Amino acid sequence: MFNLNNKVGEFIEIKVIGIGGGGGNAVNRMIDAKLQGVNYISANTDAQVLAFSNAEQKIQIGSRITKGLGSGSDPEIGRKAAEEDKDRIAKALKGADMVFITAGMGGGTGTGGAPIVARISKDLGALTVGVVTKPFSFEGHKRMEQAEEGIKLLKECVDTLIVIPNDRLLQIVEENTSVLDAFKIADEVLLHGIQGITEIVVEPGLINVDFADVKMIIKNAGTAIMGLGIASGENRAVEAAQRAVNSPILNTKIDGAKGLLFNISGSSNLTLHEVNRAAEIISKAANPEANIIFGEPKFEEIDFDKDKISYNDLDIPTFLREKK
């Protein structure tokens, strides 16, 4: 059970590819957060936007179709652009054991291109996970309609799809939050979605979690949902776990989840009993026969907001898989 030298991350290659403007922004956010054990790729039809990417690999797609000027919010252009450069995309993804595809759905490049990229990834044999956002309602009916169609197509091409409805972020932000900050928060949620899974795979730890264990949960799983709970103080374990399973970003109930991935981050004074209490709450929220993978507790000073969060905070991201 215990393995002090779990070096899975040295042998498992994980790549994150952001498609379009939203996906590129999310990738930049992950790079800024110094997410470890991941190689980054950014793909876009807009050459000017792509130039601002901090990704190790940048792929301008569809230059013959768009002349580097973007897709004009047309998913069909995004699809054709990805098809045009599918060989370059395949070359960038080659060798990956696991690929995360991130995009803001509703526009052109991400909405149309993400399913093509997912198909390429699956054809290469990589475990393929989509982590995408749905637009805010104020972005308009057409954009929402395009997002729904893009999500439907993407779901058919990935092993697991996590969809984060931006409208649900309105429940966790303050009234005076600017539009710019709201989109940054959406990027932050995408970061948590990918970080929570990759840390289970790549972080050396006391509890031995094989990539095969994670693969068993994620492969051909269909739709997944994620929650995040943060709490501090005397009852932090129970409160963080309850907030994770009742997170506003969940777009459905989790009581039918057949597979569950979760990890815990806390300060060095986190106790065994606290971990047990949190794990019990999360486990009971899922199906009684759910397959559960628990990443080891990570000890750190959680630094989401130094003014509001203390050293004693407990952070529990959970990833709960639903039936396809």
- What torsion, rounded to 10 degrees, do the Cα atoms 197, 210, 114, 59 define? 100
CATH for 98: 3.40.50.1440
For the chain, list residues with pLDDT below 50. Answer: 1-9, 301-313, 323-324
Could you list the residue range(s) of the whole structural domain that residue 231 is in? 224-321
Residue 185 tokens, joined: 């928060």
Residue 212 lies in a domain: no
Same domain, 48 and 105: yes
Condensed to tens digits (0 to 9), the pLDDT of residues 9-33 reads 457 899 999 999 999 999 999 999 8
Same-domain check for residues 244 and 98: no
Same domain, 162 and 118: yes
Residues 241 and 178 in one domain: no
pLDDT at 80: 97
Instruction: Locate 275 and state its tokens.
Output: 């971990």
Q: Is residue 170 part of a domain?
A: yes
What integer pLDDT is reported at residue 204 of this predicted model? 56
The CATH number covering residue 312 comes to 3.30.1330.20
Query: Is 277 inside a domain boundary?
Result: yes
Query: 168 and 41: one domain?
Result: yes
Give residue 258's pLDDT: 77
How many domains, the chain? 2
The whole-number pLDDT of residue 304 equals 40
- Specify if 3 maps to a domain: no
Whether residue 218 is contained in a domain is answered as no
Do 234 and 190 belong together in one domain? no
pLDDT at 178: 86
Question: Is residue 280 situated within a structural domain?
Answer: yes
173 in the same domain as 241: no
User: What's the pLDDT score for residue 7?
Assistant: 45
| 204 within a domain of the structure (yes/no) | no
Residues 247 and 188 placed together within one structural domain of the fold = no
pLDDT the model gives residue 109:
97
- Domain end, chosen from 198, 233, 261, is at 198
Answer whether residue 205 is part of any domain.
Answer: no
pLDDT of residue 303: 44
Tell whether 190 and 231 lie within a shared domain.
no
Residues 6+ apart with CB under 8 A from 36: 9, 198, 202, 203
In this structure, are 102 and 194 located in the same domain?
yes
Note whether 190 and 290 are same-domain residues. Answer: no
Domain check: are 154 and 84 in the same one? yes
What is the per-residue pLDDT for 306? 34
pLDDT at 16: 97
